[in-house]
Amino acid sequence: MRWALFKVLDGLEQSAAFVVAFTLQRAIGLSRHDAATPTLDDEARKALRDAYVRCLLADTAWLKTQHSPFKHRFSRPYAQWLKGFPDFLWDARRVAQRRSRGDFQQTPPRAANYPAYYRRTFHWQSDGYFTERSAARYDFGVEVLFLGAADAMRRQALARVLERQESNVGVQWLDVACGTGRFASMVRRARPDINVTGLDLSAAYLRFARRIYGHPSMRWKHGDACALPYADGSFDVVSSIYLLHELPRRARFKALAEMLRVLRPGGLLLVADSLQDSDAPRLAPLLRAFSRDFHEPFYRDYCQTPLEPWLQAQVTLEAVESHTAFVTKIVTARRTTNPAQK
Ligand SMILES: C[S@@+](CC[C@H](N)C(=O)[O-])C[C@H]1O[C@@H](n2cnc3c(N)ncnc32)[C@H](O)[C@@H]1O
């Protein structure tokens, strides 16, 4: 009975999320189509639709295995989104203007101390990653972009770790580039006995994360993924969700190397990010357009440089597994306890 009620509410909420996201995509011109936008063929469209539905069904199936599926499924910050909706709409105009001018260097002067690649309005988003106002719009914008499936994709990533983890008691989990704290808070909700630390380069996003998702058991750290402020082997799980596609190649592999360094032998690495060209050749036109339409200057290189060969070549890693959830690739790998035996 309880599960039947869950499924009804789940279906209603997901349908509403899809309709709102789809309508907003059209209204604010997110899904721009012009002569320069390559279109997907019918088969690719169907594959994309099927992947969307499969991801939502897999999410519902996973939620069914959890103690409190309601708590996970309906944890979106609805009140915060409702409050921020007028601002999101108002800002969409500025985003559209910035996009049509191709203007991405509008970050505040205090951004001078940050790496050059970071001092830009990624996704054309106002203030880049430098203000709490930008943080307040971020999760809503991501759900609009992914047609209401962003949380479902993140939960699929979480599920991949939990199913490979024997016990959660006392586990130290570092979420690198935690952004607004959405994924870190999912980890805590799913397993309150895990100690979660969220790290990000944006002080403003961290303030927002603490305010909206903060819990006494969670820690937040201002830091750079390319120089993690922790000793070797400090964490049982290290995750990074939607970070790598935003980094130039050198920084991308430096960040991965840092994640491995702070992972203890036997610990788990989780990387969830966009599909790459080799994962879905049919979607290549969509992936190409994303780089241009959402101001993601390093995304093309990310798509063309598969992560798995690099991970498989690390003597400290074993059992590299890859899965997909809609447009997200989820990679997990275990740090070896004895690299000599690999
Ligand atoms: C696309 S957002 C992803 C946020 C979040 N993980 C999610 O699931 O939505 C990218 C995040 O990476 C952070 N970031 C970018 N470069 C970073 C770096 N070198 N070190 C730490 N965080 C970084 C940004 O501040 C931003 O919060």
Q: Which of 243, 290, 291, 299 to mutate to test the pocket of ligand 1 (most atoms within 8 A of CB)?
A: 243
For position 36, what pLDDT does the model report? 53
Q: Are strands 172-176 and 317-325 parallel, antiparallel or unpaired?
A: unpaired
What atom of ligand 1 comes closest to residue 247's alpha carbon? 16
Q: What residues contact residue 160 under an 8 Å CB cut-off, 6+ apart? A: 270, 321, 323, 330, 332
Dist. CA 179 → ligand 1 center (Å): 5
Spatial CA neighbour of 207 closest among 141, 136, 142, 270 = 136
**Nearest C-alpha to atom 12 of ligand 1 is from which residue?**
177
Give the pLDDT score at 200.
98
Task: Check residue 9 and give its pLDDT.
Answer: 95
What are the two backbone dihedrals, phi and then psi, of residue 169, each rounded to the nearest 5 degrees? -60, 125
Strand 219-222: give its sheet, edge to edge.
219-222, 195-200, 172-176, 235-241, 263-274, 328-335, 317-325
How many Å lie between the centroid of ligand 1 and the Cα of residue 213?
16
Q: How many Å lie between the centroid of ligand 1 and the Cα of residue 298? A: 14
- Look at residue 108 in the predicted model and tell me its pLDDT: 67
**pLDDT (0 to 100) of residue 109:** 65
The answer to whether the beta carbons of residues 182 and 212 sit under 8 Å apart is: no
Q: Which CATH class is domain 167-341?
A: alpha beta
Domain ranges of the chain: 2-145, 167-341
Q: What is the pLDDT of residue 287?
A: 81
Amino acid (one-letter) located at 180:
T
- Rounded distance from Cα 241 to ligand 1 centre (Å): 8
18 to each of 140, 188, 261, how far by Cα in Å?
Answer: 12, 26, 40
Ligand 1 centroid to 175 CA: how many Å? 10
**Eight-class DSSP state of 66:** S
Closest listed residue to residue 258, CA positions, set 301, 223, 215, 290: 223
pLDDT of 341 reads 60
Q: How does pLDDT run along the chain (342 residues), one tens digit per residue?
A: 789 999 999 999 999 999 999 998 888 766 555 545 557 788 888 999 999 999 999 999 999 999 889 989 999 999 999 988 899 888 888 888 877 777 776 666 667 788 888 887 777 788 889 899 999 999 998 999 899 999 999 999 999 999 988 777 889 999 999 999 999 999 999 999 999 999 999 999 999 999 999 999 999 999 999 999 999 999 999 999 999 999 999 999 999 999 999 999 999 999 999 999 999 888 888 887 777 777 788 999 999 999 999 999 999 999 899 999 999 999 999 999 876 665
Nearest CA to ligand 1 atom 17: 201
Lining residues, ligand 1, CB within 6 Å: 118, 129, 142, 177-179, 182-183, 200-202, 205, 224-226, 241-243, 246
Task: Give CA–CA dist 89/91, Å, rounded.
Answer: 5
Tokens of 198: 């969220």
Find the 7 Cα to ligand 1 centroid distance in Å: 33
Q: Which atom of ligand 1 is nearest to the CA of 142?
A: 9
Q: In the structure encoding, which two tokens stand for residue 203, read together?
A: 């002080």
Atom from ligand 1 closest to the CA of residue 123: 1
Backbone angles phi, psi at 31, to 5 degrees: -95, 65
Please tell me the distance between residue 208's alpha carbon and the centre of ligand 1 in angstroms.
13
Tell me the β-bridge partners of 269: 238, 333
- End-to-end Cα, the chain, rounded Å: 49
